[in-house]
Structure 1
């Protein structure tokens, strides 16, 4: 059968399988186009671009914490205020099992609970009833999951009903330890109903939302999937893995809603040679090797035209490399924002932009 690519995880599993000599732990990121077969709305397009970041070969919850810290830093750079909802699938599965719901119904119950934020308590209860759950089971389930988060964790820690809950609590407590140690607790919220829907998750799950709720869809989401790579490769190996995905389209939409401009020029410096082409090319190379994004005029346009071009591109600085200045070991630098020009020694050029 032929289908459209729905995620970047399965192709990643193939990469691991085709490269058995990869040293673990292995970290990677990938940006690609994917498709969804589900309801579409603002922030949820049929075709969209996402960026995945994955860590393979680490069982510790430190890997989840590292991804959550990275996400916080990224959204801070984007000037978007966010919060991270997190849960553990073992914990959720253990709660469902503890009230007597059959294993056959567990997956569909999790899918319904994952809609709590979207359709509300009554909507989820109605959906569970239509799936064959008894009113008694539904009442028991909601009496647990609707408890205050701290009270729920305290109750489960004091008397864990089954091994799944014990394992889930152990992983959750380890994650909370790293979250607190990393000073990101203020943006993290334990959400006992969060499931991420997908069956691939085996432990931690998390989603990232705008703090003001202006877009209801999550900007990012991820979790631990310790079994999918091994199952895909069917080689008996263990591949503990955790990943996060960034929905670039919904992030762009969030930036638009906030009227945050992100049109950064490709270059920070534009070099204009005035009969000094070879020297100017060497200067561009010097600046680039110092990590300073630099472009150079190559079409021999007049100085005025070259300055107009740099202005339209939003390039903040122009270096004018004239023969007379070069003979004195200097170049002219023009600040395109205020129009101020200054001369600087060629030997000190990099320092000006540091």
Structure 2
């Protein structure tokens, strides 16, 4: 048997996973500071829920992992965290709105594997259910700014409005039955460029005159485009889209994040679920091409999915754990912290060492001890390789005198202190 991982999955060794856990803790701290509550949903689901008409759509169903359980029921692995959220709201009709939740968990897609796209990956989702106001979008964009500043990553938040984009498509004259297909092509502009999108639209039988007119609008500078359509809107969608964009920009300026927010009339976020604001977040230097976060408003999907006659306005954002981790690695921004702060090496003093390491842990200091009676040199070598910053060699003389030497592994120096002062000394050094 060859030991190998399934393509599109990977192991994260301790140093990698510590860094990923630290990112998750930082994200969680911000989510909760904004008043969002944690939610956890099952990874497995009835397939018919995942395959609902108003869930992910036909394209995503091609990538669902589907199987039968022992009762011959059709089961699937979740492919996102939005469908489980919709199900939770449907099963809990008395849930208080607005409902602000975050969920961090693995999702699975049996799709093509390439750089930045695995079959098993972690989503970090934040959603507000039950708020019609554009303040909801503004809050998520402000949160994104806070998170990337905290992570020391410089980003731009590109935003648009699907009503505005749909309005332009209608003004151009593109038939309604091609609108969603055109939007899917426009969503690829960052990947395949304008010529690539033009070629794809031609393959979709969009007439050349419509393509030219569409790019005439979309190649305008953002302010110029808005100005050309603002005072003489040719349809209601454009009017509503501009009104929502104006309101959002007012909140962006009020929050002081206008320097990193850019209006992008190209931006569409290909999924059909979006009904208003859409946004994507990219590193300023584009050292990583993939977005590091994205989201938007999807007012109709949950109500249609549950089919109970109630509309649930919703806005969400997802942060890509894997791409954030890779961005930090690329920029050599360390998220690592040694898992153990102090290592105790007993020399015939196992009982006392157990007592000391237990006290340290109970005082909030991560500690470990040599358990296998290796020689002191081997124990110090192990501590060095594990990047443990402090070591105490605890022998019978130390027990008798009540004094120990704490070795600073980075500096190669030793400090003699009383046993009773170990806690305060280490807390000061670790902080």
Give the equivalent residue in structure 1 for 2:10.
Answer: none
Matched, 1:178 2:255: no
Separation in 1, partners of 2:400, 2:94: 56
Which residue of 383, 387, 391 corresponds with 1:310? 383
Q: Which deviates further from its counterpart, 228-237 or 269-278?
A: 269-278
Separation in 2, partners of 1:16, 1:334: 55
Residues 279, 315 of structure 1: alpha-carbon distance in 2 compared, 3 angstrom cutoff: closer
Kindly report which structure 2 residues correspond to 1:129-168, keeping only aligned pairs within 5 A, or say none. 129-168=202-241
Q: Deviations over 1:76-100 (max 9, x none)?
A: 4444333222111111111212233
Kindly report which structure 2 residues correspond to 1:85-96, keeping only aligned pairs within 5 A, or say none. 85-96=158-169
Separation in 2, partners of 1:263, 1:147: 45
Residues 216, 300 of structure 1: alpha-carbon distance in 2 compared, 3 angstrom cutoff: closer
How far is 1:148 from its partner? Answer: 0.6
SS of the residue 1:26 aligns to: strand
CA contact (8 A) 1:43 1:253 kept: no
Separation in 2, partners of 1:301, 1:84: 55
CA contact (8 A) 1:276 1:322 kept: no
Matched, 1:66 2:143: no
Which residue of 272, 282, 299 corresponds with 2:371? 299
Which residue of 10, 33, 37 corresponds with 2:107? 33
Residues 204, 351 of structure 1: alpha-carbon distance in 2 compared, 3 angstrom cutoff: same
Separation in 1, partners of 2:392, 2:302: 52
CA contact (8 A) 2:124 2:320 kept: yes
Kindly report which structure 2 residues correspond to 1:323-342, keeping only aligned pairs within 5 A, or say none. 333-342=406-415
Task: Could you tell me which runs of 5 or more consecutive residues in structure 1 were left unpaired when the two chains were aligned.
Answer: none
Give the equivalent residue in structure 2 for 1:281.
Answer: 358
Which residue of 92, 97, 111 corresponds with 2:170? 97
SS of the residue 2:363 aligns to: helix
Matched, 1:123 2:123: no
How far is 1:321 from its partner? Answer: 7.0
Q: Which deviates further from its counterpart, 39-48 or 203-212?
A: 39-48
Equivalenced residues, count? 348
CA contact (8 A) 1:265 1:313 kept: yes
Separation in 2, partners of 1:83, 1:11: 30
Give the equivalent residue in structure 1 for 2:287.
Answer: 214
How far is 1:327 from its partner? Answer: 8.6
Residues 86, 329 of structure 1: alpha-carbon distance in 2 compared, 3 angstrom cutoff: farther
Separation in 2, partners of 1:271, 1:58: 54
Separation in 2, partners of 1:180, 1:324: 66
Matched, 1:249 2:325: no
Residues 309, 192 of structure 1: alpha-carbon distance in 2 compared, 3 angstrom cutoff: same
Separation in 1, partners of 2:406, 2:335: 25
Q: Deviations over 1:186-240 (max 9, x none)?
A: 2222110111100111111111223223333223221122222222222223322
SS of the residue 2:259 aligns to: helix
TM-score with structure 2 setting the length = 0.70
Q: Deviations over 1:283-342 (max 9, x none)?
A: 31122xxxx5x1332726465554433322223344677787789987654432113333
Separation in 1, partners of 2:88, 2:234: 40
Which residue of 84, 92, 95 corresponds with 2:157? 84
Separation in 1, partners of 2:412, 2:188: 56
Q: Which deviates further from its counterpart, 321-330 or 199-208?
A: 321-330
Q: Using CA pairs under 8 Å that are at least 6 residues apart, name the structure with larger relative contact order, 1 or 2.
A: 1
Residues 327, 254 of structure 1: alpha-carbon distance in 2 compared, 3 angstrom cutoff: same
TM-score with structure 1 setting the length = 0.83
